[in-house]
Structure 1
Amino acid sequence: MTLPVSARMGGLAMAFRAMAYWLVRYRRTWRGTIVVSVANPILFLLAIGAGLGTLVEGSVEGASYLAFFAPGLLAAAALQNAFVEAGFVVNSALRRERIYSTAAATPLEPGHIFAGHLIFIALRLFLSAAAFVVAMALFGLIENIVVALAVTLAATLTGLAFATPLAAWAVTVADFPQLNTVFRFVVMPMYLFSGTFFSVEQLPGPLRAVAYALPLWHGVDLARTLALGTATLGMSLLHIGYLTALCAAGAMIARITYRRCLHE
């Protein structure tokens, strides 16, 4: 059943009200997030790309190692930021700080609470990616503002493709250490074997097929080809469609899990 336009607009307005809380909170805590979301990836870019990368002879997929590595690290950093914001923060908002429970006592519905928090996470991902892209531009890795915006949006979509289903699951987690287990045994292997540090073409055939199926590889390849100017319409649409499908699936699951957990 399709909701009337007025109802949809009202729901969007409520979602932005929920987002407003996270914006006010972020005004007080943004300094503490800079190290994890911005400074760490940029320092990693300096150490690996501009430091160790200078020892790599020749080119990787037709580009210098720094030009190859930086967009991959950008997508991987979006994954890391998404895990923090949609994993640890979402779980804490329900279980420890009781932020969600307080919001649920207002006219906000569980769907509004989820949507508002997700909009804020998208903003956080975009700003962190934009800061990283500025650093890339200082290294001469970004040609113009159009490429910069495209790469930033690619990284943001990559982060959202993880954040949306992750939030849908994290809100159900009663044992906080489960999040650390998933980070160690799911996120970190994906971080290492999705083409961030080396071309997946170097992997054996079966492992290469697994790498191509990983969501992070789609984000890495999308950001990298856009940054290097080698993107094709077909592959870009494939990457965007894959990542968007994950966002849509996560949103549908979250509608169920948020309602269930907030109405307990």
Structure 2
Amino acid sequence: MAGTLAILERHLTIYKRNWYASVFSSFILPVLFVISIGIGVGSYVGTVDGWEYLSYIVPGVLASGAFQTAIGESTFPVLGDFKWSRAYHAMRATPLRIKDMIFGWQLYIQIRVFIASVIFLVVSAIFGAVHSPWVVVTPLICALVALATAAPVSAFSAGLENDSYFALLFRFIVIPSTLFAGVFFPVTQLPLLVRPLAYASPLWHAVELCRAAMLGTPPPWPVAVHVGYLIVLAVGGLYWADRAYSKRLKD
């Protein structure tokens, strides 16, 4: 545990020096998105599933923000610490274990996502988009989807030699998930053949859980199924990350 906390302290120290670089993407952009799409476009859309569009879209934007933050922090930063700064190799030369590197990094991402989620929820409440006391669990949902996303993406990044594959990741995973995983409209409006792809995305499960918590309505699947799916992805991702980091650090 001491090693994990040491890694966490390192990342927090670095973030303390350049936190301003993430203010726009983590805090300001989601709020602007809610105002422009939720209120602006929402005035034309009307209601979705019986809710005004602002209330419908806010949980999706919340989950999507956690999803995108997790991927952003698990791509270039991970590859950079392996290939360019070789920070992981320096850590390997110390008593720190590979599990400490992985858990410390993932814990750092959890803290980032949790804080951003809380701030976003406060703003959402001001706009009247919170309708249930269950909203208190949404930061935990965001933290879970962040882990379910960041763990496998970190493992993927650890096995790369250059950043060209990240363009494919963002083009074929991040953008389609953001557009078609229930953030802006119900997945049931998609063609039947396409829906399984949305269901496979961890973002869809997080969106539905956040929407259920903020609106006080039941999710389309049992809560245990949504949570269980995210936990399976997280555990599998951590295992993959352990294998990928170990292989990369043999040199």
TM range (shorter): over 0.9
- Structure 1 SS opposite 2:73: helix
Question: TM-score under structure 2 normalisation?
Answer: 0.95
Contact 1:111 1:259 in 2 (8 A): no
Q: Structure 2: 5+ residue runs without aligned partners?
A: none
Aligned partners of 1:180 and 1:131: how far apart in 2? 30
Count how many residue pairs are aligned between Structure 1 and Structure 2: 251
Question: TM-score under structure 1 normalisation?
Answer: 0.90
Aligned partners of 1:197 and 1:100: how far apart in 2? 39
Which residue number corresponds to residue 147 of structure 2? Answer: 160
Distance apart, 1:263 and its partner CA: 2.1
Which residue number corresponds to residue 197 of structure 2? Answer: 210
Task: Give aligned-pair identity as a percent.
Answer: 35
Are residues 1:36 and 2:25 paired? yes
Aligned partners of 1:209 and 1:18: how far apart in 2? 38
* Cα deviation 1:233-256 (Å, max 9, x = unaligned): 962111111001100000111111
Which residue number corresponds to residue 77 of structure 2? Answer: 89
Which residue number corresponds to residue 229 of structure 2? Answer: 242
Which residue number corresponds to residue 40 of structure 2? Answer: 51
Distance apart, 1:143 and its partner CA: 4.2
Which residue number corresponds to residue 247 of structure 2? Answer: 260
Aligned partners of 1:20 and 1:263: how far apart in 2? 25
Distance apart, 1:132 and its partner CA: 1.3
Contact 2:80 2:86 in 1 (8 A): yes
Query: Cα RMSD (Å) of the superposition?
Result: 1.6
The 1:213–1:233 alpha-carbon spacing in structure 2 relative to 1, beyond 3 Å, is: closer
Structure 1 segment 1-264 matched on structure 2, within 5 A: 12-57=1-46, 59-143=47-131, 146-231=133-218, 235-264=222-251
The 1:200–1:246 alpha-carbon spacing in structure 2 relative to 1, beyond 3 Å, is: same
| 242-251 vs 181-190, greater mean Cα deviation | 181-190
Contact 1:194 1:216 in 2 (8 A): yes
* Cα deviation 1:22-78 (Å, max 9, x = unaligned): 011111011111111121111111110011111113x21121111110101111111
Distance apart, 1:103 and its partner CA: 1.4
Deviating runs (4+, > 4 A) in structure 1? Answer: none
